[in-house]
Amino acid sequence: MEKILTVQVWSDVICPWCWIAEHRFQQALAKFAHRSQADVVHRAYRLKLGEARHPVEEMLMKKFGPRVNPLQFLSQMEGAAAQDGLDYHLAGTWVGDTTDAHRVVKLARKYGLQSSLLEIFYKGYLSEHEDLLDRGTLVRLAQTAGLEASTLEALFAGDDFLAEVESDQREAMQRRISGVPYFLFGEKTSLSGAQPENILASTLAHAWKTESVLPEQSTDAQVCGLEGCTIP
């Protein structure tokens, strides 16, 4: 039986640190000698569980109050992304419960399109002001990844993958995951935050070779949690 290394990634499609982490991880994965034997499973983490759609500026004001200028924070986040070659435009975006987006990502995995769809969602939201809280937008973007409109309409006509999305969130709580991105390599080795590519690469190599636990790196965690994102 062929050896498989499962890498589980908890993330949210409206998380700015998550696309940076995904970008770095894909670079590390491309150089991994056993790339074809790595099964990457994206798990749902909803940063704004149960919250209605509202402007990102409103969310930042609620978190930081007058001590932080929302536009300054967003500009700093855009600068951090630019260092990784990602073009963020965050002012004027919307935040809220991303359950529907995660259901579409689950559907995409069924057709082998999960990673490509996530890239489309991240770019759409973080660079192009696409509203991932709107089902029409989700359908349109998912079609560009190769999903059929009829399949997406059937998804939203029922509750397919809702249980799986909720299960991901419960497991995150059980594992005491307080922020995303969060990577689990195999069943023992984990990394929290948008870690550098070299750390992701070395962790992949370690997890492939041994089942022993590799202590988490001591670098500052660049994450988004239920209370907001760390400042770059």
pLDDT, residue 218, reads 47
Check whether 227 has a pLDDT greater than 90. Answer: no
The 10s digit of each residue's pLDDT in 113-156 is 999 999 999 999 999 999 999 999 999 999 999 999 999 999 99
Spell 27-54 as b/e; 16+ CB within 10 A means b: ebbeebeeeeebebebbbbbbbeeeeee
- Kindly indicate the confidence band of residue 110, based on its pLDDT and cuts at 50, 70 and 90: very high
In this prediction the pTM is 0.94
Domains of the chain and CATH, by start: 5-229 (3.40.30.10)
pLDDT, residue 188, reads 84
Region 94-104: mean pLDDT is: 98
CB 222 within 8 A of CB 180: no
Phi, psi (rounded to 5 degrees) for 94: -120, 145
- Kindly indicate the confidence band of residue 232, based on its pLDDT and cuts at 50, 70 and 90: confident
CB atoms within 10 A of CB 216: 15
Average pLDDT of the chain, as a whole number: 93
Residue 9: both structure tokens together: 């990634």
The 10s digit of each residue's pLDDT in 210-224 is 865 555 554 567 999
The 10s digit of each residue's pLDDT in 46-87 is 999 999 999 999 998 888 888 778 899 999 999 999 999 999
